[in-house]
Structure 1
Amino acid sequence: MEAIVLAGGFGTRLQHVVSDVPKPMAPMDDQGTPFLRLLLNQLHRYGCQHVVLSIGYKGQVIRDYFHDAYLDMAIDYAAEDMPLLTGGAVKKALPLCHSEQVFVLNGDTYFNIDFTAMMAYHQQHQAEFTLAAKEMHDFDRYGTLTLAQDGRIQAFVEKKPQAQGWINGGIYCLQRDLLADVQADKFSLEQEFLELHTQDMRMYAFPSEGYFIDIGIPEDYYRAQRDFGKIK
């Protein structure tokens, strides 16, 4: 099992709370345990052997903390000289992977899913791309997914107030050659690739009821700190 973690974002909305480290290195406790370490712990529990960290803003902080291995997982780095957005970051990191299927995780989101079950789901559906989906209630911060009965993604709907809906949980399983024909080096995976291919790509949602937190805004970052015992 191999995974790419997108850890190169600026974390603009967290700047006044966490300003000296990249967002995935935001401390979760008094000992300074970084959020990114929780993601790597999660991957390790499911037998991941190789992680590629996609780094950009203050990426040296991440290199200095994890070096070339964590637990018994080998770590490589795909460093951005300029912001490449999510699609460009994944495209740059994929050549460092060797497995036919690769997981991709947002570095500022923790979603307690069963990676083994998600991989099996991806393979059973002969999917090219599978995302972990979380059901939410009474929210306006996330876009939603329109799903067929078999879980196939039919559309991505822009964010607006919703009483209920399935959201993109920030964990993907994809074929390693998925972006091989994309010419652009800088693009949004979600808006400039996935949303354009719902009709011609085998794209599925893997539903999970697991704990979900996105530390992109201060109030949720503080909630993640309070919930640290649930996710460490």
Structure 2
Amino acid sequence: MTAPYPHPTQAVVLAGGQGSRLRPYTDDRPKPMVEIPGTGTPIIGHQLAWLASEGVTDAVVSCGHLAEVLQDWLSQAQLPLNVTTVVETEPLGRGGGLKYAAASLPRPEEPWYATNGDIWTRFSLREMADFHHERGADATLALARPRIPWGVVETDEFGHVLDFIEAPPSPYLINAGVYVFSAAFTGLLPARGDHERTTFPRLARERRLAGFPLPHGAYWRAIDTAKDLTEAAKELGSRGV
């Protein structure tokens, strides 16, 4: 009988974005420090609580824009897991920044999760880790099907309008900004540059990159604009996310 796959207990949170489209909220704080209205908690607080509920005991938070604001909050907050912060002193790109943060993980010989700092989601990371392990992947990315921000018009083959559908799900899957990585993946990252243009395409060609579709009904939202904040607050009230 094979031993059960040990789920990751460490994670990197990429929290260095400027969030220019969220101004004026981000004039005095980094994007992950923006509060979801009505919760009293910034985006990163929700993320860390979710990671802890999924068995993560140690997180490395990669800071950039207004890093001291985020570091001050982390030092004073009652956190459910151990948090270390790192700050990029020079731009390294997405892949380089991920590699730099991963160097501070407490158990480099073990797999790890990563998440973008502007994502608010809830689904089973353990199920995603099992999916990753079953496929023998070096990297697995969560895949979301976001809602199209416009209403669409459905027609028949003769051009007759049949229906108007408000904000339907996209027919395409997108990178949801949540990942499971093998221990070896860290060594595949570039010291500088974008891993989504280098490492990921290479792994895809070698069939070592997997995509985990978010389970039906799972909550996922990227917080990019003020409208996203408003919608997230509405969803919080209706779904109890």
TM-score bracket for this pair, using the shorter chain length: 0.7 to 0.9
- What does residue range 43-192 of structure 1 map to in structure 2 within 5 Å? 43-67=51-75, 70-97=78-105, 98=107, 100-136=110-146, 138=148, 164-182=171-189, 184-192=190-198
Residues 50-86 of structure 1 deviation map (CA, whole Å, 9 limit, x = unaligned): 0000111111111111129853411111211123232
Secondary structure of residue in 2 paired with 1:186:
coil
Query: Cα distance 1:68–1:177, how it changes in 2: closer, same or farther (>3 A)?
Result: farther
Q: Percent identity?
A: 27
Please give the root-mean-square deviation of Cα atoms over the aligned residues, in Å: 2.4
Q: How much does 1:216 deviate? A: 1.3
Q: Secondary structure at the match of 2:195?
A: coil
The runs of 5 or more residues in structure 2 that have no matched partner are 1-8, 151-168
Q: Write the letter of the residue equivalent to 2:196.
A: E
Does the CA-based 8 Å contact 1:137-1:164 persist in structure 2? Answer: no
- Tell me the TM-score normalized by structure 2: 0.78
Q: Please say if residues 102 and 176 of structure 1, whose CA atoms lie closer than 8 Å, have aligned partners that are also in contact.
A: yes
- 1:35 aligns with 43
Give the aligned partner of residue 209 of structure 2.
203
Higher strand share goes to which structure? 1
Superposed displacement of residue 231, structure 1: 6.4
Native 8 Å contact 1:128 1:203 kept in 2: yes
Cα-to-partner distance string for 1:25-68 (whole Å, 9 max, x where unaligned): 00113564111100011111112100000111111111111129
Residue 188 of structure 1 aligns to a residue whose secondary structure is coil
Contact 2:111 2:182 in 1 (8 A): yes
Q: TM-score, normalised by structure 1?
A: 0.81
Considering only CA atoms, is the larger Rg found in Structure 1 or Structure 2? 2
Counting matched residue pairs gives 210
Write the distance in 1 (CA, Å) between the matches of 2:191 and 2:76.
26
Unaligned runs of 5+ in 1: 141-161
